[in-house]
């Protein structure tokens, strides 16, 4: 009996010593990770449509965490999703959440489920040549233009005719089963759409509002000197026309509003997690607000003012 008691005590002593030797402090565990929220480097892919705001988010995050480096590859949305699925990156910033099939594929490859969150909302702005007299459109007019049946021959121009989030939104949320006109044209980028519309009176451009919606940004102000931003009939007041301004996006009075999501696959609390928390946190949401997008995780105060649109 005494031998059994001695053996039991010896076993528990050995087990305790093993656990003590195996345990590491939180700091030691953090130091062994290739990156953390305040240290390291990460590659992410982001929808080209959101380059201005993502550039600003990265700049502020890196300045607040000087041991970090976030390298952003700007691509069409479909290519960003491809990067996530083939393990090229751990984070993407796009206009939709992952599908069930994409989630299962990520779990199979990494063993951990992806996380996603809507961090902001923006609108698809409609731009025309500065000499154009057509600056008021109903949502039906927009559909007819996109189908090629509008009373005036206005050719739609996008940042690519396939694989981009803008084109996907137009097909899924505006046309809804109707076919896009074969005359639709593609520019290399959102800035390319602005340049083309500014020099061709017979076209109409569709771009993310983050390229022209910030009146405090000198680059965007220079874009606004090249083109006119059209007014689209409000969703809540027939006969009233609104632009893709921040308040109209937030209240969804503007008819073409979409989400901005991050999708993250990370098996530990690394730099991707840190940047995701930053975007959804106080500072990130203020940056979205100051960029004239609608922050999705913080309330946006709306004050009544008189505004000529």
The pLDDT of residue 19 is: 47
State phi, psi for 265 to the nearest 5 degrees: -120, 110
All residue ranges of the chain with pLDDT < 50 are 1, 18-30, 307, 309
Residues near 44 by Cβ (< 8 Å), separated by ≥ 6? 70, 71, 72, 73, 89, 90, 91, 92, 93, 272, 275
List of domains in the chain: 34-121+258-295 (3.40.190.10), 122-257 (3.40.190.10)
Please list the residues that pair with 233 across neighbouring strands. 241
Contact 68, 298 (CB under 8 A): no
The pLDDT of residue 111 is: 74
3-state secondary structure labels for all residues of the chain: CHHHHHHHHHHHHHHHHHHHHHCCCHHHHHHHCCCECCEEEEEEEEEHHHHHHHHHHHHHHHHHCCCEEEEEEEECHHHHHHHHHCCCCCEEEECCCCCHHHHHHHHHHHCCCCEEEEEEEEEEEEEECCCCCCCEECHHHHHHHHHCCCCCCCEEEECCCCCCHHHHHHHHHHHCCCCCCCCCEECCCHHHHHHHHHHCCCEEEEEEHHHCCCCCCHHHHHHHCCCEECEEECCCCCCCEECCCHHHHHCCCCCCEEEEEEEECCCCCCHHHHHHHHHHCHHHHHHHHHCCCEECCCCCCCCCCCCCC
Please list the residues that pair with 125 across neighbouring strands. 207
The pLDDT of residue 24 is: 43
Contact 137, 233 (CB under 8 A): yes
Closest alpha carbon to 173 in 232, 296, 255: 255
Please list the residues that pair with 204 across neighbouring strands. 128, 156
The pLDDT of residue 9 is: 55
| Structure tokens given for 199 | 């020099």
The pLDDT of residue 13 is: 54
The pLDDT of residue 99 is: 86
Contact 47, 165 (CB under 8 A): yes
The pLDDT of residue 102 is: 85
* 157-191 as b/e: b if 16+ CB within 10 A: bbbbeebbbbbbbbbeebbeeeebbeebebbebbb
Question: What is the pTM (predicted TM-score) of this model?
Answer: 0.82
The pLDDT of residue 147 is: 97
Query: How many angstroms separate the CA atoms of 77 and 268, rounded?
Result: 25
The pLDDT of residue 298 is: 86
Q: Is 146 left (phi over 0), alpha (psi -120 to 50) or beta?
A: alpha
The pLDDT of residue 86 is: 87
The pLDDT of residue 200 is: 96
């Amino acid at each position: 009996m005494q031998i059994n008691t001695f053996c039991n005590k010896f076993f528990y002593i050995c087990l305790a010593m093993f656990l003590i030797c195996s345990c590491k402090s939180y700091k030691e565990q953090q130091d062994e990770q290739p990156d953390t929220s305040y240290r390291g480097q990460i590659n992410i892919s982001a929808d080209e449509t959101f380059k201005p705001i993502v550039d600003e988010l990265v700049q502020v995050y890196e300045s607040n965490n000087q041991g970090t480096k976030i390298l952003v590859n700007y691509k069409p949305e479909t290519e960003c999703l491809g990067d996530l699925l083939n393990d090229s990156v751990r984070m993407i910033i796009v206009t939709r959440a992952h599908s069930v099939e994409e989630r299962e594929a990520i779990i199979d490859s990494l063993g951990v489920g992806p996380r996603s969150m809507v961090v902001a909302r923006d609108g698809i702005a409609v731009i025309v040549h500065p000499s154009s007299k057509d600056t008021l459109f109903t949502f039906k007019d927009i559909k007819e233009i996109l189908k090629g049946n509008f009373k005036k021959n206005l050719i739609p121009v996008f940042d690519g005719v396939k694989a981009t989030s803008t084109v996907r939104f137009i097909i899924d949320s505006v046309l809804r089963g109707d076919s896009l006109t074969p005359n639709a044209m593609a520019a290399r980028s959102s800035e390319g759409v602005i340049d083309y519309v500014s020099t061709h009176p017979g076209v109409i451009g569709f771009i993310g509002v983050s390229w022209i919606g910030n009146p405090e940004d000198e680059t965007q102000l220079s874009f606004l000197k090249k083109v006119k931003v059209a007014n689209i009939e409000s969703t809540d007041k027939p006969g009233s026309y609104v632009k893709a301004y921040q308040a109209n996006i937030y209240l969804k009075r503007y008819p073409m509003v979409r989400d901005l999501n991050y999708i993250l696959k990370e098996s530990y609390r690394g730099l991707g997690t840190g940047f995701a928390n930053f975007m959804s946190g106080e500072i990130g949401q203020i940056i979205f607000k100051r960029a004239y997008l609608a922050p999705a995780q913080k309330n946006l105060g709306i004050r009544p003012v008189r505004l000529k649109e």
